[in-house]
C-alpha cells in the first residue's frame, strides 16, 4: 500500500506514481489517503508519504503513523516527504529541518527502511492569500519542481527490495 497525506494534491500524485511503478513491477498496490486506511496490517509493506507545510508533516500523516506504529514497526515501511521547491537537491534544501521530537520518536519505533525527500509543487491559484504571503516572505519558489524520474527510480528500488523478500 502507498498511503499519503496531501493538502492540494501534489503529494497524492507522487503516491500515485509510486503505486503505478510498483504495480508495473508486478506488485499489487493501491494508493489511498491515510484518512481512508483502516489498518496497515492487511498489507505486506507500506509506503507513507506526507506533504511538508511550514516545516511540518500533515497532521493526518502524524496521526496515522502514531496510531499504527505497532503494526508498521513489524513490516517493511518506506517514508517520503514532498515539499521543497526551487532548484537543487531537496534534501540539501531541508538540511537544517528536523521532524518534531514527538514525531521522530514514532518514526524511530517504526524503523523505516528509507526516508526520501522529493521536490514539491506550489501552484499560486490553489493557495490562500495568507499562504502566498508567508511563502513570499520565506522566498519559496512557485511552480512544479517534482522530479518524476527520481520518483520512478525510488519506486523501482522499493520494488526490488520487496521482490527479494
Report pLDDT for 85: 79
Phi, psi of 82 (to 5 degrees): -125, 140
28 has pLDDT over 80? yes
**In terms of DSSP bridges, do strands 46-53 and 77-82 run parallel, antiparallel, or are they unpaired?**
parallel
Report pLDDT for 79: 98
CA-to-CA separations, 47 to 2, 65, 80, in angstroms, rounded: 5, 11, 8
Higher-confidence position of 67 and 54? 67
Report pLDDT for 59: 96
Quick: pLDDT tens for 97-154.
788 899 999 999 999 999 999 998 877 777 788 777 776 766 777 788 899 999 999 9
Higher-confidence position of 140 and 27? 27
Sole residue written with cell 532548484: 87
- The structure's pTM equals 0.89
Domains within the chain, CATH numbers bracketed = 2-164 (3.40.50.360)
Report pLDDT for 132: 73
161 has pLDDT over 80? yes
Distance, in Å, from the CA atom of 46 to the CA atom of 102, rounded to the nearest integer, reads 21
Specify the DSSP class assigned to residue 70.
H
Tell me what the mean pLDDT of segment 33-40 comes to. Answer: 95
Amino acid at each position: 500500500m502507498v498511503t499519503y497525506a496531501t493538502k492540494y494534491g501534489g503529494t497524492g500524485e507522487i503516491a500515485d506514481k509510486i503505486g503505478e511503478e510498483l504495480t508495473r513491477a508486478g506488485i499489487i498496490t493501491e494508493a489511498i489517503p491515510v484518512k481512508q486506511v483502516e489498518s496497515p496490517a492487511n498489507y505486506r509493506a507500506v509506503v507513507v508519504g506526507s506533504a511538508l507545510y511550514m516545516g511540518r508533516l500533515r497532521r493526518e500523516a502524524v496521526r496515522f503513523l502514531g496510531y499504527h506504529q505497532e503494526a508498521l514497526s513489524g513490516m517493511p515501511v518506506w517514508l517520503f516527504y514532498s515539499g521543497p521547491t526551487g532548484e537543487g537537491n531537496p534534501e540539501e534544501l531541508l538540511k537544517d529541518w528536523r521532524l518534531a521530537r514527538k514525531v521522530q520518536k514514532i518514526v524511530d519505533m517504526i524503523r523505516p527502511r528509507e526516508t526520501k525527500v522529493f521536490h514539491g509543487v506550489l501552484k499560486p491559484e490553489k493557495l490562500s492569500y495568507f499562504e502566498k504571503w508567508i511563502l513570499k516572505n520565506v522566498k519559496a519558489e512557485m511552480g512544479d519542481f517534482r522530479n518524476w524520474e527520481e520518483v520512478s527510480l525510488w519506486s523501482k528500488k522499493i520494488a526490488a527490495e520487496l521482490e527479494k523478500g
